A and B are shown apart, each in its own frame.
Chain A
Amino acid sequence: MKRLLPYIFLLCQAVAEEQPAIIPEGYRLETIPGPEGVVFEVAGLDVAPNGDVFAGTRYGEVWRWSGGQWSLYADGLHEITGLDAQEFRGAREPENPFAPLVEDRIYVCQKPELTCLVDENADGRADYYEAVSADFGFNGNYHQYNYGPVRDADGNFYGTLNLGHGRGDDGVKVRGSGMAYDDFLRGTVYKVSPAGDYETFSWGLRSPAGIGIHPDQKSIFFTDNQGDWNPTSSLAHATLGSFHGHPASLTDHPDFKGKNLDEIPIADFKTKMKPPAVWIPQGLVANSPGNPVWDTSGGKFGPFDGQIFIGDQTRSNVFRAVLEKVGGEWQGSVIEFINPLQSGCIRLAFAPDGSLYVGQTARGWGSVGTAKFGMQRIVYEGKRPLLEIHSVALRKNGFQVRFTNEIDPERAADASGYVVEHWGYDYSEKYGSPMVDKTVVTPKRVTVSEDKRAVTIRLSEILTDKVYKIAVPEMGAGLSTRTAYYTVNYLKD
């Protein structure tokens, strides 16, 4: 059968799917069958303003999911690992048949290039494959992924460039670390203006498999995967010129050009490093996180409005990141959300209706989810109020944990029901770090807020450069998860 023909499927919601072990009440996971016979390893995903879902695959195709039907938009691309569909208008069916047809544009990051796929004749298939930028090094090493793009309010594109996998003597491996700087500008965040001008925005990345932009349309965040110089995976806020820890990319940095990076003390790199907004503990929350997306649905996706959602390839879960500004910088916690899904969750995208699409692939690094690839969708039905941890906020002498609903004040006030533990991570060229100086802390006191929706856990001291595990007691009406992991970089004044 001809694989390029669109395949028609009905999205069958009537059949109740088996639900994951961890899923908050009111949420439902649906599986969307991919186009049949297609290697559907979704590593680029976005939902256009009209609700059409665009999936870019590692095989190199872009598929459009519209009205319960798949159609091929573009093919023959070189491992797509990011996609932006915000300029897509669906010019194929103009409301006014006499209006001139408008070109449709989908942006993808493929390994060699940031590319715009233009449907010039409005037949639903891209005709012109425009090179937006290829001003970074690419020598074919399998690990040189190009993730993105996301766009800011001015239309600039941002992407992240993976380091190469250090095979043999290839490239610069600072202190013999695993990943290598094996072509120019690898391990950075880049910015490309609408006119195509390329600039390096941030340095010190390793395997930054997901980039996202804050709803303010200017703050850039990315995730990085655990490994050398990355003690555990992280979500970081990139600012112009920021350095995020992996020294290999400094080979190109104007302050380091020509220097032997092996001779620079590790402490110097650490001083220069902008700490991530949140460490994502390996094995507990995520091992290989993808792109962060913000819930801006205004409640259509439930009570976590404004929070960040991230998927993970290895653990095949979706978790939340809840950030606040402390000392002028973003920091906060990560909390399990849904676990596990059918395959490795590398891409998330919110649809205008408030549902969350999940693009999946398990290839290359393995995943707990047994499917090799696919697409699922998380829907909030919210028929009954649910009780979950909403957020964790740092206080001067403790943490405030807010819930989505009222809690049992007696149970909540019993300090003995809480487990608080903290640890640090070693920053080095070694692959990952164990939890260092793991310490259990006994809360001094727990108080319940007047609205019965929050508790304040008082501690005798709070240390910086630590991850705090905060586990709350059972609150009666079944929390799907009781643990949050808060990264303290800065203290509250």
Chain B
Amino acid sequence: MRLTISILLLSFLTADLTAVAPKIKNVRIKMQRGLMRYRVESFFVKPGEKVRITLDNNDEIQHNLVLCTKGADNWKPVADAALTMGETAFERGFVPESSLILHATKLVDPHNTDEIIFNAPMEEGIYPYVCTFPGHAQLMRGQMVVASSTPRMTDLRYDYFEGEWETLEEFAKAEPVASGKMERNRIELEPRERNDHFGFVFTAQLQAPVDGDYHFHLASDDGSEILVNGEPVVTIGSIRAGGTMAKESIALKAGSHELKVRYFDKKGGEELRVAWSGPGFKESALTDPRFIDANVRLADMILVPSGEIIVVRCNLPEASPRSIAVGTPLGIHYCFDTESCRVLYLWGGEFLDIGPERGDGKGRGGQVCKVLGDPLKINSGETFPLSFADPVLKKAKPKFLGYRRAARSTIFVYDIGGVKVEQSVTVSLGERAALGMTYKFDGEVNGPVNVAFDEEAVEVAAISFGGGGHGAEGGLVWADVTDGISLILYPHTQ
């Protein structure tokens, strides 16, 4: 009873607050500098809603924004009329006399702004806007979409199939082995029981906010198809490996439409990406949203070694931007920093998300990659892990020379005071996970060698050496050698 009262109270309060707050929809439109395009090329408003459009001219040339009456193509006669305004064109800011114009900003100088405030029309539909400065209209325009609902997908359900497919047609005779509702409102290749020879049929309702052209985007590995109201819109009929998103358009009336997505995987990789776009909204993902408006696959950005060792130069956390990430199929990975010439840390699990650095196929990238696991630092000390008794070598800084990729190991080559060091790193899984390291010296070493690691992180053992004595204690390995030293690191499991 008390609960009901508080809910009632709360709803009164929120109702009150919304009544007090001045409701205005703010739309700030900047320029894509030098590209002759608005940054905002479409947006939604509700019928009758109060709207403020601020034209923020961050470009180096003048622009305006002229909002036109309902009709996707109404910008064109307006832009054409602006070309014939004669001598007073600049005075009038290239805004011609036209019944097709609703509102217009003035001609805005570089690094200035202007705004228009108005009540959105009650009639739902597409209201284009355009820069009428001569030569700009071809690229510089957008759409204000008046609609009481927004685009969305509801009632997403799946049928899951198992079997051998070569083509989409074979769905017709297949029986689903499982069916149900997708809990997250997102198309995913889950729940599935296997990674090859399976298929899905997803069904859902799509809400189109206004009449207009809608675009459907599809990429898959292997075949797939999008059907709207039973009509095939985009089809990828063959066995293939992801790649560029195919795009097709269809005119839809405002309201609800049936979406069906069919997908099958024969063998190898499996991937499905579906998106749609339309009046007022850009490519909107119906699958994992990170990889939708780019021609990249999840597998391109989330690296998981299978079969081969992956060696990637990249900017890693808590390492120099000149680092190398090495991922092994055994699930143990490490970071070698080429500036300090040492293995800095290890981690287990999936390997690496290089999306932040490689731009996820859309941005400029250049951010630090994500290590998919908890790094275990093995060489965090100030001093170089490898040290020589020789006084000259003791002071010399390492200089990175390169790396060699082999089937089971990766060999890092660097120079220390004229001695060329080849450090081979191998991951193995026996009773304990282990990192094998072999240092080979090309040059005069003159005396004993020490290799130091973080004692709390790893246990070390010397396994072979070229002559003289050797030993290991705590995190330190020492050997009285001239040619090289081999050792094993056993990470302490946490």
Contacts and interface: CB of A to CB of B under 8 A. Distances in A.
A365 to B, nearest CB: 8
A469 B441 CA distance: 64
Interface range, B side: 35 or more
B361 A364 contact: no
Contact of B366 (A110, A131, A143): A143
Contact of A432 (B34, B314, B362): B34
A269 B313 CA distance: 38
B321 interface: yes
B361 A363 contact: yes
Contacts of A376: none
- Describe B's contact surface by its main secondary structure: loop
Interface string A1-15: 111100000000000
Contact of A37 (B37, B242, B267): B242
Given A3-B241, A364-B364, A314 B35 contact: yes
A142 B269 CA distance: 31
Contact of A36 (B240, B366, B406): B240
Contacts of B357: 78-79
Interface in B306-365: 308, 310-315, 321-322, 338, 357-359, 361-365
Q: Name the residue among A110, A131, A139, A143 with the largest chain B CB count within 10 angstroms.
A: A131
Q: Name the residue among B36, B294, B322, B401 with the largest chain A CB count within 10 angstroms.
A: B322
Interface stretch (A122-130, A240-248, A301-309, A322-330): A122-130
Contacts of B459: none
A281 to B, nearest CB: 12
Q: Name the residue among B267, B357, B358 with the largest chain A CB count within 10 angstroms.
A: B358
B60 interface: yes
A131 B322 CA distance: 11
Given A2-B268, A58-B358, A372 B313 contact: no
Interface string A423-445: 00000000110100000000000
B403 interface: yes
A434 B61 contact: yes
Contacts of B402: 115-116, 128-131
Nearest to A128: B404
Contacts of A184: none
B366 A78 contact: no
A425 to B, nearest CB: 12
A113 interface: yes
Nearest to A364: B364
Nearest to B359: A363
- Describe A's contact surface by its main secondary structure: loop
B405 A138 contact: no
Interface string A279-321: 0001100010000000000000000000000000010000000
A366 interface: yes
A487 B36 CA distance: 25
Nearest to B313: A78
Interface string B168-199: 00000000000000000000000000000000
Contact of B34 (A113, A143, A226): A226
Interface string A75-95: 011110000000000000000
Nearest to B400: A131
A282 B61 CA distance: 12
A54 interface: no
Contacts, number: 129
A314 B36 CA distance: 11
A131 B240 CA distance: 37
B38 to A, nearest CB: 12
A372 B294 contact: yes
Contacts of B312: 60, 76, 78
Contacts of B400: 131, 134
A245 B314 CA distance: 31
Given A1-B268, A1-B269, A127 B405 contact: yes
A313 to B, nearest CB: 11
B483 interface: no
Given A1-B241, A76-B312, A78-B313, A138 B321 contact: yes
Interface stretch (B92-100, B126-134, B157-165, B295-303): B295-303
B221 interface: yes
Given A1-B268, A372-B295, A39 B300 contact: yes
Contacts of A142: 364-367
B230 to A, nearest CB: 30
Given A59-B300, A432-B34, A140 B358 contact: no
A141 B321 CA distance: 9
Contacts of B366: 140-143
A111 B357 CA distance: 11
B368 interface: yes
A112 interface: yes
Nearest to A225: B34
Contact of B364 (A128, A138, A140, A363): A363
A168 to B, nearest CB: 15
B381 interface: no
B321 A140 contact: yes
A113 B243 CA distance: 30
A37 B321 contact: no
Contacts of B241: 1, 3, 36-37
Nearest to B35: A366
Interface string A350-373: 000000000000011110000011
A364 B313 contact: no
B31 to A, nearest CB: 12
Interface in A120-163: 120, 126-131, 134, 138-143
Q: Name the residue among B221, B296, B297, B311 with the largest chain A CB count within 10 angstroms.
A: B296
A94 B60 CA distance: 57
A74 to B, nearest CB: 9
Given A112-B313, A140-B315, A283 B34 contact: yes
Interface string B277-310: 0000000000000000011110110000000101
A37 B297 contact: yes
Contacts of A59: 300, 358
8 contacts: A2-B268, A37-B240, A37-B242, A37-B243, A59-B300, A60-B313, A78-B314, A79-B357
8 closest Cβ contacts across the A-B interface?
A142-B366, A140-B321, A1-B241, A37-B241, A130-B402, A78-B313, A364-B364, A112-B322
